[in-house]
Amino acid sequence: MPYVDFISPLHKRTKRDYLGRVNEFPKAEAAKVACEFEKDYWDGDRKFGYGGYRYDGRWRAVADLLVQHYKLKAGDTVLDVGCGRAFLLYDIMEAAPGVSVKGIDVSKYGIQTAKEEVRPFLQVADAAKLPFPDHSFDLVISINTLHNLPCAKLESALREIERVGKKNKYLVVESFRNEEEKVNLLYWQLTCRSFYSPEDWQWWFKHCGYTGDHSFIYFE
């Protein structure tokens, strides 16, 4: 389960006011709205989520790294578990012409308002029960999604990613290395159900038989 970090530079571009996030609005109320994963989460006020999530090319650098690292080529198949508006899948298609992509997300609104070029390849589905046969994809990715699942669904999702992938898998989850990062994560997150140290995440991967690559994002 190699550690491969494609995400940190993008994650660190965002400046975060952790105390402001907690004090500006009742956090529990914001979380209730965010956990619906619907319009307010994507296009509502920033306190409920993205505050308007639009394509701006930010994921292209990540797509290029994925294509290079996993040697994606025309005819290969890629699944994004928790694709949201599928900006990353679109950029993978641009970076590797001829690659076949699919994406799933629990958010009906996210799928309906996804990047138009990718929308035909997306569907609303549960990460804990992927609607695909065994060994269907050359690469399965899941970026900043699995930490939103409670334990039982997390276990199922990890096993499902392993089941539908042929060989290459890559996931990114939120984590913390010390108490300061744990507090910052809890201040900032709205939808997180599973937040663990790197060592605990490694336990989950081994427990579920996950053999793919991974990386963590930290709230420094």
Choose among 125, 45, 55: nearest CA to 90.
55
What stretches of the chain show up as alpha helix (H) in DSSP?
A: 8-11, 18-23, 27-34, 39-43, 60-70, 87-95, 108-112, 151-164, 179-188, 198-208
What is d(CA 169, CA 85) in angstroms, rounded to the nearest whole number? 20
Q: Which residues pair with 175 in a beta bridge?
A: 196
Instruction: Tell me how many degrees the CA angle 53-87-8 measures, rounded to the nearest 5.
Output: 85
What is d(CA 115, CA 196) in angstroms, rounded to the nearest whole number? 32
Count of domains forming the chain: 1
Residue 137's domain comprises 8-217
Domain-located, residue 162 = yes
Choose among 217, 186, 191: nearest CA to 19.
186
Domain-located, residue 3 = no
Domain-located, residue 2 = no
pTM of the model: 0.96
pLDDT of 36: 97
Q: What is the mean pLDDT of residues 43-62?
A: 95
User: Is residue 220 scored above 80 in pLDDT?
Assistant: yes
User: What is the distance in angstroms between the CA of the first residue and the CA of the last residue of the chain?
Assistant: 24
User: Is residue 28 scored above 90 in pLDDT?
Assistant: yes
Q: Could you tell me the maximum CA-CA distance found in the chain, to the nearest angstrom?
A: 49
Domain-located, residue 100 = yes
Give residue-wise pLDDT tens across range 86-135. Answer: 999 999 999 999 999 999 999 999 999 999 999 999 999 999 999 999 99
User: Is residue 1 scored above 90 in pLDDT?
Assistant: no
CATH of the domain at 56: 3.40.50.150
Distances (CA, A) of 148 to 37, 61, 111, 138, 165: 11, 25, 18, 25, 21
Pairing state of beta strands 122-124 and 213-217? unpaired
pLDDT of 35: 97
Q: What tokens were used for 35?
A: 């956990």
Domain-located, residue 49 = yes
